[in-house]
Chain A
Amino acid sequence: MIYAENIFICIAVPLLISILFAEGSARGFIASFLTGTAVCLLSAYISGFLQIVSGMSVGDTAVFLSPVVEEIMKFLPMLFVLFIFMPEDSGLFIAAIGIGAGFATFENCCYLLSSGAASLRYMLIRGLAVGVMHIISMLTLALGLVLVRRVRLLSLPGIAGAFSLSVIFHGLYNLLVSEPGISSAIGYILPLATAALLYFPYRSLRRTGVLF
């Protein structure tokens, strides 16, 4: 048993104070990071509730329900930022990275407290696989949103398409790591490999002026 709310308070208070003194994009990033930690906590509540309602096991909930719940919860603040603040492309990316990093950090903190930090192998998996996965799914979402806005198709189908892509990526990761053996190994490599694959078109798009 861990006290996730207490961990959240411990992480959130310094961030809240930082927001008061930060300016510009730094403030945006800290606020997004804080939002990411909050939506991680809320996602845990909702997944737990759905697990009880559906009668699924903990493993099946992680494979089938959690990716959907977590991506919806990360998606909602992105929508808020997109439509309320209407940021530039770079602002949208900062929000996405902040929410993804905040989510991954809070999730990692909770896992560390529940499973211990003695195993370096486990720590590397948490950091390099799960942590990167949350950031990549958010970057994918942000890139999708920027593109549908760029072709003036910022409509429900375009937004839903970008969101759904982040869900299937997260779902594939959770499915692969749900079973030991070669599938887990592939799953753990998947986020870093995707990050590497995403990096080059991202740079190319920035160079050609398609992105900011």
Chain B
Amino acid sequence: MTTERLSIAAFLILIAVISILLIRTARLVAKSGDSGAVLLLFALISLLVNDLYWIAYEALRPDVRMPFAANEFGEAAFYLLFCSAVSAVFRDRGEGRTEGIWAAVFALASVGLWIAWSGEWVQDLMAAPVHVYYLYVTAVSLRQGDALAPREWRLWGGAAAALIAMQTAIFFVPGGLKSSLDLACYLLMFSVQAVLIFKAVRAIGSGMPAKTQLALSFGAMAWSVSVVYMSAGYWYVAGLLYEAVSMSAVQISYEREILR
């Protein structure tokens, strides 16, 4: 199966997962009347419409690379509404700002890499503020939810810095080393992703405080988004599936936090 078909299959799985999460969130809204839950509902609707846009574009114009289009706004809508829903739980009281700023630096470095890879200045620069804000809110919520021990923060920060350094080095090293570095980057990204999803799922299963569950799930989701943006081919498809799992974890933990 070609990667194009696999990625369409992954998008269809993602759409099915989002639809289920939408139904669960709609029930949550009906049960609780909570405004944050409504924002989460809106965020999921944005993501669903955005994925449908992708599928429709692939079906209608398979041979034309998508120019700057409404789907850029769809992605932005999802992240911003998602952040608004999570910010309704973790208010920015100053706690976690240092971690937030480091996450923002990582986001900016990622945007620089996107531009270097694709050359799409306009799209990437427009996406930059949203991505920076998304990772900032993630780090703040992880800090406020007491989701990571100091050692884990250092490990995660080190992994992020190593990832950026290796991805940058790929532009300058000769061919043979380039593919090895590329593989190392993928292994690093997906290992961190696996650890984060494991921590989030374990937190949900072991009945940790709902805020901690939510923060860990949100962190896993943010990392999976970064992974998807930095991946291609089969890795990209795997990243989309990780995203589906982490998004489900966010919805479940958000529901628990609201109904607490």
Could you list which residues of chain A lie within 8 angstroms of chain B, going by C-beta atoms?
A: 60, 63-64, 67-68, 71, 143-144, 147-148, 150-151, 153, 155, 157-158, 160-165, 167-172, 174-176, 178-179, 183, 201, 204-205, 208-210
- 27 A–B pairs (Cβ distance < 8 Å), ordered by A: A64-B68, A68-B73, A143-B42, A150-B35, A151-B35, A153-B39, A157-B83, A158-B81, A161-B39, A161-B42, A161-B43, A163-B77, A165-B42, A165-B74, A165-B81, A167-B74, A168-B49, A168-B50, A168-B77, A170-B70, A171-B71, A172-B56, A172-B70, A175-B69, A175-B70, A205-B38, A210-B38
Q: Is the interface of B mostly helix, strand, loop or mixed?
A: helix
Give how many A-B residue pairs fall within 8 Å (CB-CB). 127
Complex Cα gap A164–B49 (Å): 11
Complex Cα gap A204–B28 (Å): 12
Most buried by B among A60, A71, A144, A164: A164
Give 19 new A-B contacts, CB below 8 A, not counting A168-B74, A183-B59.
A64-B68, A147-B35, A147-B38, A148-B84, A153-B39, A158-B84, A162-B81, A164-B77, A168-B46, A168-B73, A169-B49, A171-B53, A171-B70, A172-B70, A175-B56, A201-B30, A204-B30, A205-B29, A210-B38
- Asked if A165 contacts B39 (CB within 8 A), the reply is no
Q: Mark B171-207, 1 if CB is under 8 A from A, else 0.
A: 0000000000000000000000000000000000000
Q: Is the interface of A mostly helix, strand, loop or mixed?
A: helix
Q: Does B88 contact A (CB under 8 A)?
A: yes
Could you list which residues of chain B lie within 8 angstroms of chain A, going by C-beta atoms?
A: 26, 29-30, 33-36, 38-39, 41-43, 45-46, 49-50, 52-53, 56-57, 59-60, 67-71, 73-74, 76-77, 79-81, 83-84, 87-88, 130, 133
- Asked if B33 contacts A210 (CB within 8 A), the reply is yes
Known interface pairs A161-B84, A162-B81. Does A171 touch B74 (Cβ–Cβ under 8 Å)? yes
Known interface pairs A150-B35, A153-B88. Does A68 touch B81 (Cβ–Cβ under 8 Å)? no
Complex Cα gap A71–B34 (Å): 28
Question: Which residue of B26, B30, B42, B50 contacts A144 across the interface (Cβ within 8 Å)?
Answer: B42
- Asked if B59 contacts A168 (CB within 8 A), the reply is no
Determine the chain A residues whose CB is within 8 A of the CB of B83 once the complex forms: 157, 161
In the A-B complex, list the 7 residue pairs whose CB atoms are closest, starting with the nearest: A171-B70, A161-B80, A168-B74, A164-B77, A208-B33, A167-B73, A161-B81
Complex Cα gap A60–B66 (Å): 11
- Asked if B49 contacts A151 (CB within 8 A), the reply is no
Determine the chain A residues whose CB is within 8 A of the CB of B53 once the complex forms: 168, 171-172, 175
Determine the chain B residues whose CB is within 8 A of the CB of A171 once the complex forms: 53, 69-71, 73-74
A99 to chain B, nearest CB (A): 18
Cβ-closest chain B residue relative to A179: B60
Complex Cα gap A165–B41 (Å): 12
Known interface pairs A157-B133, A164-B46. Does A175 touch B57 (Cβ–Cβ under 8 Å)? yes
- Asked if B70 contacts A151 (CB within 8 A), the reply is no
B218 to chain A, nearest CB (A): 15
Determine the chain B residues whose CB is within 8 A of the CB of A155 once the complex forms: 84
